[in-house]
Amino acid sequence: MVRISVMYPSGEGKTFDHDYYVNKHMKLVRERWGGMGLQKIEVDRGVAGGAPGSKAPYVAVGHVYFGSIDQFQKAAAAHGKELFADVPNFTDIAPQMQVAEVIHQS
């Protein structure tokens, strides 16, 4: 299984619409990728950093899970441009992305 994390770094003056992200953007992700191997979606809202009183390094992180990297790459090739074109509708933050192999769950 692979997890693709799209991270939105915190920053002064940056905006992020969590409601749009969860209720519209991730709905679009599910519609486009649901039949292409997408297994699960998770969304995190950053609330704090590791040290007491510190700010969260990311305002939000979206995670999508696929059975294989090949499934994700095919889905991204088919609908990635459309999905990334939606980003300005909920944020002015340039997203960072990581693809990871899930090697342990408990």
What CATH number is given to the structural domain containing 12?
3.30.70.100
Please state, as a whole number, how many other Cβ atoms lie within 10 Å of the Cβ of residue 54.
Answer: 9
Residue 106 located in a structural domain: no
Closest CA to 4 of 102, 104, 105, 106: 102
pTM, entire model: 0.93
Q: What is the pLDDT of residues 86-103, one digit of tens each?
A: 999 999 999 999 999 999
In this prediction, residue 4 has a pLDDT band, given cuts at 50, 70 and 90, of: very high
**Interacting residues of 33 by C-beta distance below 8 A, sequence separation 6+:** 64, 75, 79
Residue 32 located in a structural domain: yes
Domain, as residue range, for 21? 2-101
**pLDDT at site 67:** 96
Residue 40 located in a structural domain: yes
In this prediction, residue 42 has a pLDDT band, given cuts at 50, 70 and 90, of: very high
Residue 30 located in a structural domain: yes
Read off the pLDDT of each residue in 31-56 and give the average, rounded to a whole number.
Answer: 96
Integer CA distances (angstroms), 6 to 26, 69, 96, in order: 12, 15, 6
**pLDDT at site 79:** 97
Residue 60 located in a structural domain: yes
Q: What is the pLDDT of residues 44-81, one digit of tens each?
A: 999 999 999 999 999 999 999 999 999 999 999 999 99
Q: How many domains does the chain have?
A: 1
